[in-house]
Structure 1
C-alpha cells in the first residue's frame, strides 16, 4: 500500500476562527466574492465559489471578540485562493483595493503569480493564478525551482481595468 495521497486529493475547505462573523462575511463575501451558502445560527457561516457546499467556514464559537494571535506564534500562515485566470485575479485585486484593504506584497513564484493581504482578523490571504504546468521552471535535475521575483500588479490591473 502506498503512503502517497492519490493525485486527485485536493484541499476542500478552510475553516477559520474569527472575532466578528458579520465583518468576516463582508470580507470573504463582498470583497473576495465568495457566496454565503449557509449561516449556522449566529456563530458560523459557510461560503463558496460556484455553489459548492463550502470552501470557507467561519465561526466565532471560541473566538467571539478575540484578538489575533501575536506574531511569532504557531498558527495559520495564510490561506491561498487559486483564480482560474489573470482577469479573475485582477477583478479580485480591484475589489480588495476598492475596499481599502492594502496589499502586503506580490510575487512571481515561477509557477504562479500572487498577491498577499490580511483579512479583518489578521489572517494571511494569498490570491493567485497558476502558470500552465508545462511552463513551471525546473532545474537540470527536473525539480521545481520556484522563486520569489517581483510581480507587477499595476501592469496586471492596467491590462484588466475594473468593471465597476
Structure 2
C-alpha cells in the first residue's frame, strides 16, 4: 500500500470493548476499584462504563465468553488496555488505592514520555494505567524519533505526589 495517506491528527481511540467471563466481577474491578462510572447495561450480558459522563470508554460483555477461563498470556489478542490519567497526582491516587486494596501490579515503568502501572483485570486482560509527561519534556533521538525506554518506576517517589 502507498504511504501517501496519513490519518488525521485529531483521530483518537474512542473505546475498548472487552469479552469478560462475569459482568459483576468485571464491574467490581473497573467500577468499584478503578472508579469508572456505569453508564448503561444490556440486561445481564453487557455493561458500559466511562469517566466524566462520556457514553462509554469501556464496554464489557459476556456474549461469547460467559464463565470462560482467563485470557492466555501467550495467545494472540489484546496486550493491554491503556487508561490515561490527567496528572501524575491522579496516577499516584490510583496507585495508592490499588496498594491499599492489595491488588497486585505486574509492573511499573518510566518510559520517558510517560509513567505507567501495569496490572491484570480479573479475566487476565492486561491494563496499563499511566499519565503522559508534558510533550515539552520528551526527548528525541538525533533522527527526530521519540526517545522512549523502559526503566523501573520509583513508586515511593510517585506516592510523594500525595503529600
**Residues 64-119 of structure 1, C-alpha deviation per residue, up to 9 Å, x if partnerless?**
00012323210110000000001111111122222221111111101000010010
2:28 corresponds, among 17, 20, 26, to: 26
1:150 alignment partner in structure 2: 152
Listed as ranges, the matches of 1:83-162 within 5 Å are 83-160=85-162
TM-score, length-scaled by structure 2: 0.94
1:80 alignment partner in structure 2: 82
Q: Which runs of 5+ in 1 are unaligned?
A: none
State the distance in 2 between where 1:95 and 1:120 align: 17
Q: SS in structure 1 opposite 2:35?
A: coil
Q: SS in structure 2 opposite 1:9?
A: coil
How many residues end up aligned between the 2 structures?
A: 161
1:42 alignment partner in structure 2: 44
Q: What is the root-mean-square deviation in Å for CA atoms of aligned residues?
A: 1.4
**Residues 117-145 of structure 1, C-alpha deviation per residue, up to 9 Å, x if partnerless?**
01000011000010111111101111111
**Residues 2-57 of structure 1, C-alpha deviation per residue, up to 9 Å, x if partnerless?**
52111000000000000010010110011111100001100000000000000000
State the distance in 2 between where 1:157 and 1:122 align: 26
Q: SS in structure 2 opposite 1:98?
A: helix
Q: Which runs of 5+ in 2 are unaligned?
A: none
